[in-house]
Structure 1
């Protein structure tokens, strides 16, 4: 128990109205109001202004900086964008005022998590930021912080999983590459996007699974998978949800659930320009992070989108002037009879992988389809083929010329993130049905070919230097617009001079997280980092090419989309400064 602190005489306090004494982190304001004495933390919990400079009326203390109002008795705020102010015990003994500098209610992890939920529900960025800062600084597991956002986003958005939850999952994936402030910014950005996307969208209520009579024979998971597939085919999302919940109730494994859902997606080509498969992959990645908690809400949140998802085999560009649908259907018929090998090492298969990547980038889609089928027939792993398709898609981004329309960045980005999602999904579960998505991605790469005409030149390093430039110089470069090619050149020189890749990934993360980045920019950064990681353990020419390509692609994409107004990250930086005790109201 803290020792009591003498304030002054009751008479003096009545005359002066308020007095500040040492205590807590920021001093304690002792207030005489309407013949009563109250003690509150002297720092406004909103943005840190000294409360002794505020005014009192009718039992309410008002901060003069942003007019946040606090009940003097409890410290509770009347304004949801502020926080409650800590209050302290007061004692009057022999006409002297004493306080105990130990607040009635201490800040706890439980309260911080509750405050994070408040911020999500009310869509208040500063509240979210302060809660994230407090939880990270308290050493709370970052996955449990993300979990709060996932639980909220999957329940309080009636039309399900979209970009907000995808950003949150992507940012959770890249936390190992970021310093502490980067981790705070990544979680905050993901949670803010979940809150914004869910605002006013309505609660999503789950349907019931099919009734399961213990005395009757239960349906097999394989049977449920067929029912699910049929429901998605005819866009019956309610029927699909009941079937999926039944499979979960019967104890279907994550792999069985993934196979069920991915098969229904890949029955059609490149659904919703690749977003559908990407969203599904991210949901399963988050499930893995959360150790299978909240399966019902997470997986069913993916279904609403399927009621109106576009199917590329129905689009003109996939049928003319070159018919891509026919060759793909022929290939998929052959695929059903191929023994899919998930783990086959690439060295044992006679396939020139550089040649395959160039073929993917070529003007002959039919030959690309034939080469992919031939590789599978020879025993090539679909996982490896998906990795090479992701590399080719990364090449499209790395070679994207700024003479294209700016919105065309999104086109090459969609192909890359789809290819990345296919690669990650196949690593989880390799099936002939999901392998079809490798071909879908390959055809999208073909359709993007005009966006590399002209093709941006791949930068070459200058003469080696004795000194490696600090990665923070990259941030300075991205303070200016139209630095796309300059950013690629800087990165190539940095790597050629022995720059630390992991340190650069941290800086690249900060280059993203300081911006008001759009959904696609988050996808590009996370996809490039994750694909790079999977090439790192391999000592080969194509591995070195892939790693450089992915870094160039991410750097060019981020540079093309910077700078922005940066007000989103500014809010998080305010929260970090407040936690450190800095005085924002002083110069």
Structure 2
């Protein structure tokens, strides 16, 4: 994205010295101002802007120089000049209020700028100021020298931390546009954001990381500069959302020589400090993600953990590193290590204990009995996993049968479950519970194709989803006759169907949170990937119908009455 936003304001980097933009001696300016003015005079791109006479009546004047609108103010402390457009939303600062102590207020939203120090007192973005001086004949000159690109870049990137901390989406988008305006790759801001916030995710990696991988991949398909910027803004906004107002949860600085076995043991013992110290040892030794990926993948697969999140998170590191560069590795895998050490392990609860029962004597009973979708549907978890084992001798064929079952469940999900109010907490399910079966399945396939020894654990994880979700689907028929009524030629080009869905319900999502659009994004991205890999798969049409129905459906995130019912019931049982 190069020079995509040429209409935006020049970056608000202040390159003047710490002294005010006072000018040289003048009968209209105090002696103190003369002294301070002398510290800013010197070499530079000085250009005539106005005269003291023109400033005399109102003490301010709007001038146009080098394609910019610049507000010039005459005060008791000297001459000050700044961009006329407020860095917040562009309203004219010439119409602002200037106090005796040189604080300029934008009257539209009450942002305040100290023209003497350059500080933004109320608001966020920095205001670009210009050194000023007065010649002997009363001409006011401004130094229009542009700061070097690296200086502007460094200041913009340094402003990110405050914007991230305040979860200021609009400012994050403006800072990205400013980087683009000066010809710096805005991906530097994404890399910086992960580095700044990696220790503010209490439980490690969140959906902000895999979401970033998918947003950046989608951005590469787009040509419209504003849509491309929107993808980047969603990435930074999600990082901010997941870390806003969180304290620092420091990672241990200790370093231990890398050992994949020791790392596995530390993760299993939930010993984050040892696991992180081992990762630091690997990084110090110059190891890459390709070196570490097998160990992380094995840890993610070993448990049915976080309802599939661990497997998805590990699978998304590679594409994100491909976009950001290997120097982003530390800021991605330290939170991932924390996640693996703190993630819930659902295979330890009664519903999913069959995971380890079946896995324990896997080699003794694994078979190549062909399986179909119907062999997995409508069965409890234990029966699904037992059937997986009998078919896993041909892992890819078993994968296809499981994927087809997962797709069927998404297509037939009973949406009324989300609206019931008299349900126990354990049945609080929504679209994400059923779609996670598909997205986890894709991550399993990618990792197990690279490391075939992971197929057993991965297929069982998919099976856990199929067994759990059996309770939340319509048993027969097509809900609402969706396939027929959607007005889609399901036998047509899948890229057209999915591309339209991506634009209308992901890029232009209109959601107030980040979970909903990022889940839409990752689900559509998964479908595109799987259909590209298996264009003739028997589940192709069902998958298109399923994802289309999901993405276009309501997604209630907060159920007030249900929460009240469950709270009352829970407290009453105490």
Report the TM-score when normalising by structure 2. Answer: 0.75
Aligned ranges for residues 264-279 of structure 1 at < 5 Å? Answer: 264-268=299-303, 270-279=304-313
Aligned ranges for residues 194-273 of structure 1 at < 5 Å? Answer: 194-198=239-243, 199-210=245-256, 224-268=259-303, 270-273=304-307
Contact 1:164 1:194 in 2 (8 A): yes
1:436-473, Cα deviation, whole Å (9 max, x unpaired)? 1222212311221222224561788xxxxxxxxxxxxx
Is residue 431 of structure 2 the alignment partner of residue 409 of structure 1?
yes
Is residue 174 of structure 2 the alignment partner of residue 130 of structure 1?
yes
Aligned pair partner of 1:553 in 519, 528, 546: 546
Aligned pair partner of 1:309 in 343, 348, 367: 343
Determine the C-alpha separation between the residues in 2 that align with 1:556 and 1:437. Answer: 26
Contact 2:252 2:273 in 1 (8 A): no
Contact 1:528 1:551 in 2 (8 A): no
Compare relative contact order (CA 8 Å, sep 6+) and give the higher one, 1 or 2: 1
Contact 1:37 1:90 in 2 (8 A): yes
| CA 115–563 in structure 1, closer or farther in 2 if over 3 Å, else same | farther
Aligned ranges for residues 495-514 of structure 1 at < 5 Å? Answer: 496=492, 500-501=496-497, 503-508=499-504, 510-511=506-507, 513-514=509-510
| CA 95–550 in structure 1, closer or farther in 2 if over 3 Å, else same | same
1:259-306, Cα deviation, whole Å (9 max, x unpaired)? 2122233332x1122222223333344334334324344223223334
Aligned pair partner of 2:462 in 441, 444, 452: 441
Contact 1:19 1:52 in 2 (8 A): yes
Determine the C-alpha separation between the residues in 1 that align with 2:299 and 2:105. Answer: 58
Determine the C-alpha separation between the residues in 2 that align with 1:332 and 1:521. Answer: 41
Determine the C-alpha separation between the residues in 1 that align with 2:379 and 2:69. Answer: 71
| CA 103–229 in structure 1, closer or farther in 2 if over 3 Å, else same | closer
Displacement of 1:324 after TM fit? 5.9
| Matched residue SS, 1:363 | coil
Which segment is superposed worse, 13-22 or 118-127?
118-127
1:94 corresponds to: 137
Displacement of 1:125 after TM fit? 2.4
Displacement of 1:328 after TM fit? 4.1
Unaligned runs of 5+ in 2: 1-43, 420-428, 559-574
Is residue 52 of structure 2 the alignment partner of residue 59 of structure 1?
no
Is residue 352 of structure 2 the alignment partner of residue 359 of structure 1?
no
Determine the C-alpha separation between the residues in 2 that align with 1:134 and 1:533. Answer: 33
2:327 corresponds to: 293
1:545-567, Cα deviation, whole Å (9 max, x unpaired)? 42x444433333332246999xx
Aligned pair partner of 1:525 in 498, 521, 525: 521
| Matched residue SS, 1:400 | coil
Aligned ranges for residues 315-330 of structure 1 at < 5 Å? Answer: 315-318=349-352, 325-330=356-361
Aligned pair partner of 1:81 in 100, 109, 124: 124
Displacement of 1:375 after TM fit? 5.1
Contact 1:532 1:550 in 2 (8 A): no
Aligned residues: 502
Contact 2:203 2:343 in 1 (8 A): no
| Matched residue SS, 1:243 | helix
2:536 corresponds to: 540
Determine the C-alpha separation between the residues in 2 that align with 1:328 and 1:29. Answer: 72
Contact 2:48 2:139 in 1 (8 A): no
Displacement of 1:351 after TM fit? 9.2
Contact 1:331 1:373 in 2 (8 A): yes
2:443 corresponds to: 421
Unaligned runs of 5+ in 1: 213-220, 339-349, 461-484, 566-587
Displacement of 1:412 after TM fit? 0.9
Which segment is superposed worse, 169-178 or 33-42?
169-178
| CA 500–105 in structure 1, closer or farther in 2 if over 3 Å, else same | same
Displacement of 1:506 after TM fit? 4.5
Determine the C-alpha separation between the residues in 2 that align with 1:533 and 1:312. Answer: 28
Determine the C-alpha separation between the residues in 1 that align with 2:493 and 2:448. Answer: 35
| CA 166–536 in structure 1, closer or farther in 2 if over 3 Å, else same | closer
Contact 2:205 2:336 in 1 (8 A): yes
Determine the C-alpha separation between the residues in 1 that align with 2:219 and 2:69. Answer: 36
| Matched residue SS, 2:72 | strand
2:39 corresponds to: none
Contact 2:395 2:455 in 1 (8 A): no
Determine the C-alpha separation between the residues in 2 that align with 1:64 and 1:21. Answer: 20
Is residue 393 of structure 2 the alignment partner of residue 397 of structure 1?
no
| Matched residue SS, 1:61 | strand
| CA 315–133 in structure 1, closer or farther in 2 if over 3 Å, else same | same
Aligned pair partner of 2:452 in 426, 431, 438: 431
Determine the C-alpha separation between the residues in 2 that align with 1:265 and 1:59. Answer: 58
| Matched residue SS, 1:29 | strand
Q: Alpha carbon RMSD of aligned pairs, Å?
A: 3.7
Displacement of 1:332 after TM fit? 5.5
Displacement of 1:393 after TM fit? 2.4
1:45 corresponds to: 87
Aligned ranges for residues 484-503 of structure 1 at < 5 Å? Answer: 489-490=485-486, 492-493=488-489, 496=492, 500-501=496-497, 503=499
Contact 1:415 1:444 in 2 (8 A): yes
Displacement of 1:491 after TM fit? 6.2
Contact 1:401 1:456 in 2 (8 A): no
Aligned pair partner of 2:197 in 144, 153, 160: 153
Report the TM-score when normalising by structure 1. Answer: 0.74
| CA 310–82 in structure 1, closer or farther in 2 if over 3 Å, else same | closer
1:191 corresponds to: 236
| CA 334–550 in structure 1, closer or farther in 2 if over 3 Å, else same | same
Displacement of 1:53 after TM fit? 0.8
Displacement of 1:374 after TM fit? 5.5
| CA 120–385 in structure 1, closer or farther in 2 if over 3 Å, else same | farther
2:10 corresponds to: none
Is residue 91 of structure 2 the alignment partner of residue 69 of structure 1?
no
Contact 1:149 1:191 in 2 (8 A): yes
